[in-house]
Amino acid sequence: MTYNINEKGYYGEFGGAYIPEMLYPNIEELRQNYLKITAEESFQEEFHQLLKDYVGRPSPLYLAKRLSEKYNTKIYLKREDLNHTGAHKVNNTIGQILLAQRLGKTRIIAETGAGQHGVATATVCALMGIECVVYMGEIDIARQAPNVARMKMLGAKVVPALSGSRTLKDATNEAMRDWINNPVDTHYIVGSVVGPHPYPDMVARFQAVVSEEIKKQLIEKEGTENPDYLIACVGGGSNAAGTYYHYLDNTDVNIIAVEAAGKGIDTGESAATSVLGKEGIIHGSKTLLMQTGDGQITEPYSISAGLDYPGVGPMHANLYKTGRAEFISITDDEAMTAGLELSQLEGIIPAIETSHALAVFEHKTFKPEDVIVLNLSGRGDKDLQNYIDYFKL
């Protein structure tokens, strides 16, 4: 019994590759090559060198003393916020650009909602001198002007998606269309543990550096590699997948996944997929997703742009279904309060996505002797205006 992926590309009943015929050659090329290429010594060397010298890894594991005192337990923060570009997303884009180079690709495409994945992709394309096209919904382009400017400054072309609701899912459709038309020279960098196999597994493996480091750092600090709890927020699920990866099958370690409840589970303005979702297929993967009675995907809502995805990755759907992970939903208000609290207790302004994970301490009581590792997935600079408006700072 494993909570990791099987040879067919499934986590339990979730995952697989449900794709249009025309996308088959692209996905098949990846599937046949990703494990072989990423296992090569030269790949691993370059990947780890860049993570060290360019991203700034290993990210510290910081014992948050005042936060721990307040909740009478022992809380470590895995500082992904200190990475270059301010979050965990760059771990994945570095991995995928190295893979794309080895597959002989000369052009990169990506989709982005809030713009964070677009920036992480434009960053590694600049680093490697590779052409970069980012698809983004027209509405999102208007809402996320600073990230659009960053992508342009980094040399990427930002193409507006003008169809449908003009948000993330339409941008994803445009990127898919581009890829179908450019199968030979183009690689599509997906931004989370979502999409058809092998994307969820590939992205999880690139993010797994997070739990690899946690193990080493906990041995140094606690004399054991096992915490009692791991906590991470889940949008698509990539920072969570990286946090859990090397602990998935070690059931001595409890796993907590935090979703965005938005204005509340029952308000119709939510992104709590595990509670509200049903099995279905989204972006080529069988997973849990929020949908209407007749199977239309529901538009999700969260104050945090990085968490308002209508599905979750198949790994997380399986962790939910099997009960391996405890899922907790946190409202906008609870998250904002937790973000302000961390700022004032520890001098760290977290991304609003991460603030959802931090709100767990108001929801659940831990024992004084518990050792908890929470993935501080990103920094709050990008969210400052949101915090200002919310708290009238």
Ligand X SMILES: *Cc1c(COP(=O)(O)O)cnc(C)c1O
Using CB under 6 A, list all residues that contact ligand X. 87, 89, 116, 192, 233-240, 306-307, 351, 353-354, 377-378
Active-site residue, from 74, 89, 105, 169: 89
C-alpha separations of 189 from 104, 263, 366 in Å = 14, 31, 38
Q: Which one, 190 or 372, has the nearer CB to ligand X? A: 190
Q: Which one, 180 or 340, has the nearer CB to ligand X? A: 340
Taking every pair of C-alpha atoms in the chain, what is the biggest distance, in angstroms? Answer: 57
Q: Which one, 196 or 306, has the nearer CB to ligand X? A: 306
Q: Which one, 74 or 303, has the nearer CB to ligand X? A: 303
Q: Which one, 74 or 231, has the nearer CB to ligand X? A: 231
Q: How far apart are CA 110 and CA 190, in angstroms?
A: 6
- How would you classify the pairing of strands 131-137 and 107-112? parallel
SS3 of the chain: the string is: CCCCCCCCCEECCEECCCCCHHHHHHHHHHHHHHHHHHHCHHHHHHHHHHHHHHHCCCCCEEECHHHHHHHCCEEEEECHHHCCCCECHHHHHHHHHHHHHHCCCCEEEEEECCCHHHHHHHHHHHHHCCEEEEEEEHHHHHHCHHHHHHHHHCCCEEEEECCCCCCHHHHHHHHHHHHHHCCCCEEECCCCCCCCCCHHHHHHHHHCHHHHHHHHHHHHHHCCCCCCEEEEECCCCHHHHHHHHHHCCCCCCEEEEEEEEECEHHHCECCCHHHHCEEEEECCEEEEECECCCCCECCCCCCCCCCCCCECCHHHHHHHHHCCEEEEEEEHHHHHHHHHHHHHHHCCCECHHHHHHHCHHHHCCCCCCCEEEEECCEECHHHHHHHHHHHCC
- Residue whose Cβ sits closest to ligand X: 378
Active-site residue, from 68, 105, 111, 169: 111
**Does residue 89 have an active-site annotation?**
yes
Q: Which one, 239 or 318, has the nearer CB to ligand X? A: 239
CA-CA-CA-CA dihedral for 97, 378, 16, 254, to nearest 10: 130
Q: Which one, 111 or 353, has the nearer CB to ligand X? A: 353
Q: Of 371, 377, 341, nearest to 357 (Cα)?
A: 377
Q: Which one, 148 or 233, has the nearer CB to ligand X? A: 233
In whole angstroms, how close is the CB of 262 to ligand X at the nearest point?
15
CA-CA-CA-CA dihedral for 308, 311, 314, 319, to nearest 10: 70
In whole angstroms, how close is the CB of 43 to ligand X at the nearest point?
23
In whole angstroms, how close is the CB of 238 to ligand X at the nearest point?
3
Q: Which are the catalytic amino acids? A: 89, 111, 377
